[in-house]
Structure 1
Amino acid sequence: MKLFSYCCLFSFTVAVFSGHQNSSFYVKSTISPDDQFLASGSSDNNAYVWKISDPKQPPMMLQGHSEEVTSVSWCPTDFTKIASCSDDHTVRIWRLHREMDGAQSSVGEANLVGWARPKSLLSKHYNYHEPPFHKICNVF
């Protein structure tokens, strides 16, 4: 996967991130709200997280899906949480532990916080009058 910069009507490659597999014609990726990390879904049933400033560092692998990871998304209010969804019909919520090395942060470990099947997730998502069982992230 390549990260490009578009400036003055020209584009140039800023970094190349490797490690994931892609059998589709597109890559499902997203940059963290603090612009420090890049997350991507993969055809090998995993999601991957890279530190943007260090693309040669191996990515953190988020394992747990049984089919292709079709999308990834960062929580806009808590940069340590990321959601991944898959063709296995599940959404998994991950908490990333960013290790601090001096003033620099690096990709560390990740723990699975929870998972949901789409029907239960959607039914809870549209019921605004009932408090959620477990607050994942404030987005409203």
Structure 2
Amino acid sequence: MSTTLTVLEGVHTDEVWNISWSHDGSRLASASKDKTTYKEPQDVGYTPQFILGDHPFAVNCLAWSPDDSALVTSSNTYIKLWDSQTGLCTQTTEEHTETITSLAWLVDGTGFFSGALDRKIILWDSAANKLFEVEGTGDIRILDLAIIPDSNQLIIAGMEQKHERSSHQTSYVLRTFNMKTQKVESSTVVDHEICTVAISRDSQFALYNQNASIQLYDLQTHRVVGEYTGHLRTRHVIHSRFGGIADEFIISGSEDGNVYIWHRNSGRPLEVLYGHGEGGVNCVSWNPQRPEKFASCSDDHTIRIWETSRRGLACDTGMG
């Protein structure tokens, strides 16, 4: 059984679209339509440490550096880099020509990737200076991307649009891209729109959110090996994540305003968590150091911090 520990309200004045715990589990960053990024320390009061403003548009993406010393955010076509200890912006840059949809740091912290609807993937150094544009992916609009930790690979979710003389065709693909060789190593066409992708900590699986289902994708065989249903996703960007000590759970927001938890191996729904107000739950984030704690954010302008009993979930799944 999961319960709400606290509700963070009054910080954001509009929809909250994205959240992420720092790697050490001590801070939570959130991105909002109100053009701010809120960063709070993990303490009893959950008071804001910094409110990172000065974004020209709504903030949709954010990513912590591996050592949590920096936070990178995106606002339409702009990227801003923040010193997480001082809350000061150290760099603002604009290279993309359409909305940035994803940010992902290299495992060694020497830089990060950005992907956008303009079909570009750009590698930046740790100070947000542009290094180069990734070649070989310019035929798809980037919907999301993630780094596979134990390899030299990116996994890219994209949309390919073909214009025939009398028709317009749209297809969706998952690609693995080798960062060392700069080549696409695999490409899989999927049957519905992809909005987000996440990678398991053991680098074995990807999780991608489609219309009305979440798919578990084996990165070795390039096949779907699991499916999770029950939540609602029709047109908004909904972030789903792995969770628990060994990523044994799948957690997702939903356009019906609830949070859903499944067991990864069985696909069995374990809990539907109510509490958010009107609008969808856009993102969830499981604390990497506190496997009993996770957060969710919503169109209702709030963030909820939840605590779950892993023993209770284990009993529900028949686990010991």
Give the TM-score normalised by structure 2. 0.30
- Whether 2:290 is the aligned partner of 1:78: answer yes
CA distance in 2, matches of 1:49, 1:71: 13
The question of whether the paired residues in 1 share the 8 Å contact of 2:280 and 2:298 is answered with yes
Distance 1:4 1:25, change over 3 A: farther
C-alpha contact 1:19 1:59 (8 A) present in aligned 2: no
Aligned-partner Cα distance in 1 for 2:255–2:319: 31
Counterparts of 1:1-140 in structure 2 under 5 Å?
1-7=214-220, 10-24=221-235, 26-32=237-243, 34-55=246-267, 57-66=268-277, 67-98=279-310, 99=312, 100-101=314-315, 104=319
Q: Percent same amino acid among aligned pairs?
A: 35
Offset of 1:44 from its aligned partner? 0.4
Instruction: Tell me: CA distance 1:40–1:103, structure 2 relative to 1, closer, same or farther (3 Å).
Output: closer
Task: Give SS of 2:233's match.
Answer: coil
Greater fraction of residues in strand = 2
Contact 2:237 2:282 (8 Å CA) reproduced: no
Cα RMSD after superposing both structures: 2.0
Q: Distance in 2 between matches of 1:44 and 1:103?
A: 28
- Residues of 1 paired with 2:319 and 2:269: CA distance? 16
Determine the C-alpha separation between the residues in 2 that align with 1:46 and 1:5. 27
Partner AA of 1:104 in structure 2 = M
Distance in 1 (CA, whole Å) between partners of 2:318 and 2:257 is: 33
Q: TM-score, normalised by structure 1?
A: 0.66
Give the letter aligned to residue 22 of structure 1. Answer: R
Task: Give the CA deviation at 1:59.
Answer: 3.5
Measured after TM superposition, the shift of residue 103 of structure 1 is 8.2
Letter in 1 for 2:231: H
In the alignment, which residue of structure 2 is the partner of 1:116?
none
Secondary structure of the 1:64 match is: coil
The question of whether the paired residues in 1 share the 8 Å contact of 2:257 and 2:281 is answered with yes
| Runs of at least 5 residues in structure 2 that lack an aligned partner in the other structure | 1-213
**What residue is the counterpart of 2:167 in the other structure?**
none
Q: 4+ runs of 1 displaced by more than 3 Å? A: 100-103
Equivalent pairs, count: 102
